[in-house]
Structure formats: structure tokens, C-alpha cells
Amino acid sequence: MKSIIGKSILLFLVCMLIPVTVGATKNSQQSDNSNKPGQPLEGPVPNFENVSVHDPSIIKDGDTFYAFGTHIEAAKSKDLISWERFTNGYTTPGNELYGDLSENLAGSFEWAGENDADSTGGFAVWAPEIFYNKHYVNEDGSKGAYMIYYSASSTYIRSAIGYAVSQNIEGPYEYVDTEIYSGFTKEEAYDNNSTVNKQWENTNISTLIDEGTLTKENQNWFNNGGSFNNAMYPNAIDANLFYDENGKLWMTYGSWSGGIFLLEVDKETGQVIHPEEDGETEDGRMIDRYFGTKIAGGYTKSGEGPYVVYNEKTGYYYLYMTYGWLGADGGYNMRVFRATDPEGPYLDAQGQDAVLPGNVSNHTYGNKIMGNFMFDRKVGEPGTGDGYGYVSPGHNSVYQDEETGEQFLVFHTRFPNQGEVHEMRVHSIFMNEDDWPVVSPHRYTGKELEKVNSQDLVGLYKYINHGKEYSAEIETSEYITLEKNNKISGAVEGEWKKTGHNKAEITIDGETFKGVFVPQWDQTSEQYVMTFTAMSDEGIAIWGSKQENRSDAEVVQAIEEELDLGNTEEVVSDLELPTTGANGATVSWETSDESVITNTGEITRPSEEVGSLQATLTATITQGDETATKSFEITVLPYQNAELTSHFPFDGNLSDQHGDFGAGTITGDRITNTGGSISYADGVSGQALYFDGESGVLLPDNLITDHQYSVSFWVNPEELSTYTTTFFGGEFSSWISMLPQGPASNRTMLWSGEAWYDAPSSYTINTNEWTHVAFSVNNGTVKLYLNGEEEFVGSNFPDVFTNANADFSLGVNHWDTPFKGYIDNLQIFDGELSPEQINKLSAN
């Protein structure tokens, strides 16, 4: 969990001076000037305390909000702003939610989720739904219980949904039953690393047949070869329960593959009610005797995390779901459909059914309410850092306040340039004139929708268009201006107007977007700003976040004061030269010597014999008629050969043949485990180490002790699995790991657990083939090479080893599947490898 330390006493006093009503859905009172033009935007100063709850399900108990998520993580909050974790993950026995986890959920784990297939060595308990059922009949005859519908999963299709109950929101929860199974086969079959017989009779289907609920199995569940037909039927995860307008209880569930399904639920028992017979809805959608009614997706297209909310005011059932893959490079994005009946059909703004018509791309289906975005901060703008944005936001739940009608979108997200680190976020939801939900551009801080003045809407905005596509690309903000004459200029052109107290109607290139204007807290500038959020009839969301009103002279001065290129006296890699500043100002560059550094920041490093070279870079800042210049003296350092400090050729032993580091020792399947076995085989030069997939090597201590180092070795993997390491160094919370197959689109990469830094190559190395791997770190500049070719260059790489008590290993770390294959000729250097050294080391 990544948390933010509380603000100072001074900030506390400032907060106390702002009139705030207790409760997340009660906000600062409007002042007498709230609708007068030109008044400062006011509101509560947020004290964010962040938690990492993946796939969060939201509920309110008394005055406290709870969010339950994947990997048995959960947190609570009084205000939806400051969150506190109260669980202990997969700890067992003594699990905060489930007690003896392994024993308690054994009924589900017989099918999936414990030390099996993809969960080998651990657990896979995902995406719980937290729900209070006042009708549930407990064993003692009393009514009412908190219910968790959890997912236990072993592969991308073999999963099960079970449920457990408690009289206390924080548990412990006692297992009741396992409801829905998926991934079963027609005949006996087994997954890799699994002893579970997947034949369908080993699920609850055979019991349902014996009881007379079902007459027999459905042959359409199976492909021609007898495998599970996951193109038409669901992966049994991601449950969500909701009441319809008549008080009937429903469960929707499913992920990817065959789509999202819906089943009625018995309110007194929590058991799903199966249709018992196959059929079709009036509009032609599948009804399956076991899985229920299909309401979205299918044909192996992405779509998961369904969440249905009934809005009494609009009369619609809103189906939220997420497309894409959850990783930082997966383009996860949230969509919404709606229906007038809980069983559907659920349609988007274009009238398209959430159930796909066939094996088509699904990116044009559904109103896209949020995807990858970045309100990037330009030099000279208020605040610090690169700006604010999300990567792969998704798997949301929704909280509706029954008293105020406020709605909140609760989801997890990753962040630009932060790898796979994720946190939970809460944003406000507003309804536009067409009764479609639109989501606030910034986080919820306790400030509610209020009347706004048209004059305060005029000005410069950062503009995001979320579009309909999904990919790893990030939609970066552009500048537009809402003019006094209701025209829009800048990156896009059109017209705008305010309708009612706060409604927005924005027309861009002939397409009309409807939404709201709302003041929000901008975490970059740390102030409230005017924003807009709106949705078109094409299901496209746009956002705007207003910028400070400054004169051209003020803008130029701010850019000049902030413009900085870092340490220009020891330049060893290309410089990033900003070309755009605050408010769209331009920054142009001129060099005194192109042979040293170009106008775009590309350097030419000299040889050691030539020595350092100097040049002057001059920036010209222009905004309107205002201009200023600022110069930087650049010193480009020469290449110097890195100094070899240790060499492990692995010719029949694990000894360092260069320095005084001694020999490595054999481990089991983790750094700290014993019992492994390492052998020797022919390598690139002499012999190489062979790793059997269950063993590793613990290297001597202190191989790297500062922020300037290089590592070189040869690798020949027999198998590839995500996260498996070849070279690992560091501690539990701060480390580097060289992965043949990393989480960034499976590409070979150097990965750091300090701030989750990704340094990916452009491809994945081959199995049964030798590849030379090298990487250098020079005071934050990291370079990755494969077979002598530079694959990645980046800045701000974490300082993992300075003043650290690090472990170093080959083939194993503290967590992941061990490496299987060969490693040869490990060499470690003090300093950055020169081009000549890279060429020599990678020569076969």
C-alpha cells in the first residue's frame, strides 16, 4: 500500500477554518459570493490517504465507507478521501476476513484458486462483491447479513464464484457455498501444474441435475474437442448484486471470453436461481440453463467487472463494465450501457446492444467514460511534477447516496510512468440532460455540484477527448479557449453554452456533448478550478480543466524562472528540451555547436582521448508579443570504460574469478529457500549454469553498492513466464529484476520495484536461443541492451543500492516462478559501459 503522510498542523487549521459538514456527501456551504463572477473558487482542502485496493466494491455501513478488493485487500473511510487498510491479504491462518483462509474457502478451492495452475504456490481470490442483504436468513433464524461474493480462479477460464457471510462488516466471513463454475470440460482433463480434474461432473452441475434443477448438461458448453466453449460462455468471476425497482435481487458476473451474464438470486439464501432451460430473450440474446441471461460481450472480446445500478430518478439500469487488459500497457477503460429492464437489453448512446453481434471489435460499443489520460503540466504552470493522469483505470463500482442523490465512481488505476503500481480512486458521477452518466475530471474532495456563473467559464482550458479506442497510448491534454462570444478556439473549434444552473452543452466539429460545469480540486496546482465533463451521442467523453488567467508577460516570466535542464555539467545522455510552456507558449532552442548537442537535445559523446566537450544551449520563450531568452552551458562527458569488479564465468563452479567476492550458493525456488540443484552445461564460452525451474543461485553480498553500475550476462531460456527473473538485486521493497518476459506486453525488460520503474525492450527474447543482456545505470540514467543493440534509455531510475543491504541472485527472487534455462558469463562493472565494451561483451 502506498500512503501519503498527513498534512501539517497548519494545514489542519486551514481545513478547520473552511465550513464543512460531516459526511462525504455533505460539502462546504456555498458562500454569499458563490454565484458572483470573478470570485475565488472555494472548497474543502483534501487530505488524501491512498490505498491499493484492486477491483474495489463499495458499500457504506453507518458513517463509514468500505471498499473490498482483489487479493483480500480492503479499506475504509469516513469521507471517500482518506482511506485506511484493515486487512492482511492472503495471510492464513489469522486472515482478517476469512480466518483460516485455506480451510474456510476449501469448498471453492477444490475447483480453483489455491496452489493450483496459475495460482501455484499461493492463492487467487479476486474481485469480491460486498453486499448487505437484509433478507438473508442466518443459521439461527435471524435475518440480515453482510455477504461477500468472491472469485476463486486458477486460469483465464477455470474459476468459481462462492459466497461467505458475516454479521460484522469487517468479518470474519464464514463460507456458505460455491455458486457458479466455469472452465469445465466434457471429459477428464487437467491444466498445467494442476491435479484438478476439469470434467464438468466435478462442479455443482451434477448436483443440480441430481436435484432436478437441471435435466442434463448443455452440449454447447463444449468445443468440438471437449474443451470449455469460452467464446460463448463466461469466466465465473466478478460478481455484482443489485435490486431492481420491484425489490427482486439479481447477480451479474463474467469476464472476457463469452461475455457478461445475469441470474436472479434468492434473497433469503443468497443462492442463484438458474433458468433451468435454454432459450432466448425477445431481442434474441442467449438464455442458458445454468449461466443465465447474457447481457454483454462475447466472442472472446474483452469486457469484465460488470456493475449494475438502478437510478430511480431516470428509471434506467446502468451497466458499467471495463474493456481492455488491466496492466499499465493494456488500455483498460470504463464503459456504460443502460436498460429499462434488469435483464436488458443494455444499449449505449448509439442504441447498440452491449451483447456483441459476432466476432467484431468491441471498441465502438459502449459509452467510454474514462480511459488513459494525462493533464500534463507544462513548464511555468503552477505546481510541480509532470501533471496528473491515469493509466488503465477500471473495474469500478458505484455508490449512490439515497438522501442526496450523489453518485461516486470507485475504481482502481495505474499511473503514467509508474509501471504497475496501482491505487484506488473516487470520482463524482453527474447525469447529463440525456440521463447519461458523466464522470468528473478530477478526484472527489467533498465539493458538490452547484450553480456556476457564465463569466467564470470563459478562459483557457486543458482539454481531453477520451475517444472510443483503447490502447497503451495516453490521451494528453491540449489547450482550448472558451471565448466570451461562446466560441471555442485552440486545438479544436466549436461553440459552448451553459444551460440551467450548471449544465454544459459543447459542440465541437459538429458533434454535441452534454454534461456539467463543476469546480474541482486540481491536485497539480493545489487549488480549485472550473472544469467540464460531457458526453456525446456517439458515446465519447470530453473533459476540460481551466487554467490560471495570466498575462503574456507573466507566462513568459514563469517559464523563464522554472526552465531547468538539471545537471548540465555532467551530461551523459540526450536532454529532453521542452518546446511548449504554460498557456501554450513556445520554447525554441539554439545550440552553439551541433557536433556537441543539437537543437533537439541529442548529444554526441566524445571518446576518452578527446575529453569533455562544451556548448551553449539558448532557449527562446515566446507568448504573444512577449519574449525572453535563457542560456545553459552544457558539458558532455566522454565515454569511459567501466571498471570490471566481479566475473562469474560458471566454468564448473560459482566463484568470482576477478575480484574478492567469493562464490555464490545454491538456493531452492526462492532466495531464502534451500534444497535446490544447479548443474553445468555447454555455454557461450566454456560452461554455463543450468537452472531447472525450481532452483536459483544466491550471489555474494555487496556486488553493487552505488548508483553507477553495469551488469552483463548471457541467457538462454527454455521457458518464459511473466515476472520470472534472471538477475535480481535489492531488498523486499526496493529492487531491480531483469525479466526475459516482463509485464509490459511480455517484452524483455529491466524492472524496478522502487517506484515501479519499467525499462522495456522492443521485443521478447526467444527460447532455446542465446541472447546477450546488458544494462547500465549512471546516476539515474538507465540503458538496456540486447545483443549489443540499445533498446531503452530512460532517466530517474531508482537508486536501489546506495546505502542498502541488498541481496543478489540468479534465477529466483522472493516471490515469482523460478527461471528455467541457462545463464553464462555474468560480469558486473563499476560505471557505465562504453560502446566499445558493449560491442566486445555481446560478440559471440
Active-site annotation, residues = 55, 304
Residue type (1 letter), 625 = D
Say if CB 696 and CB 669 are below 8 A apart: yes
> What is residue 589's three-state secondary structure?
strand
Grid coordinates given for 437: 452518466
Tell how strand 475-476 and strand 373-376 pair up: parallel
Q: Determine how β-strand 503-508 pairs with β-strand 511-522.
A: antiparallel
Other beta carbons less than 10 A from residue 199's beta carbon: 16
Q: Max alpha carbon distance in the chain (Å)?
A: 88
Q: Give start and end residues of each alpha helix (H) in 334-402.
A: none
* Cross-strand bridge partners of residue 760: 749
Sheet containing 333-339, strands listed edge to edge, beginning at the edge strand earlier in sequence: 304-311, 316-323, 333-339, 367-370
> In the sheet that 84-85 helps form, which strands lie side by side, from edge to edge?
57-61, 64-69, 73-77, 84-85
- DSSP, residue by residue, 10-77: HHHHHHHHS---SSTT--PPPPTTTTSTTPPP--PPP--B----SS-EEEEETTEEEEEEGGGEEEEE
**What is the DSSP-derived secondary structure letter of residue 467?**
-
* 191: its cell numbers: 491444466
Sign of CA dihedral 151, 152, 154, 157: negative
User: Strands across the sheet with 626-636, in order?
Assistant: 586-591, 613-623, 626-636
Q: Which three cell numbers stand for residue 577?
A: 528540451
Quickly list DSSP for 613-679.
EEEEEEEEEEETTEEEEEEEEEEEPPP-PPEEEEEE--SSS-B-SSSS--B-EEE-SSTT-----EE
Euclidean distance between CA atoms 370 and 416, whole angstroms: 15
In this structure, is the dihedral angle defined by the CA atoms of residues 277, 281, 284 and 290, taken in order, positive or negative? negative
Closest CA to 427 of 370, 380, 475, 351: 370
Residue 284 CA to residue 288 CA, distance in Å, equals: 12
Per the document, the length of the chain is 844
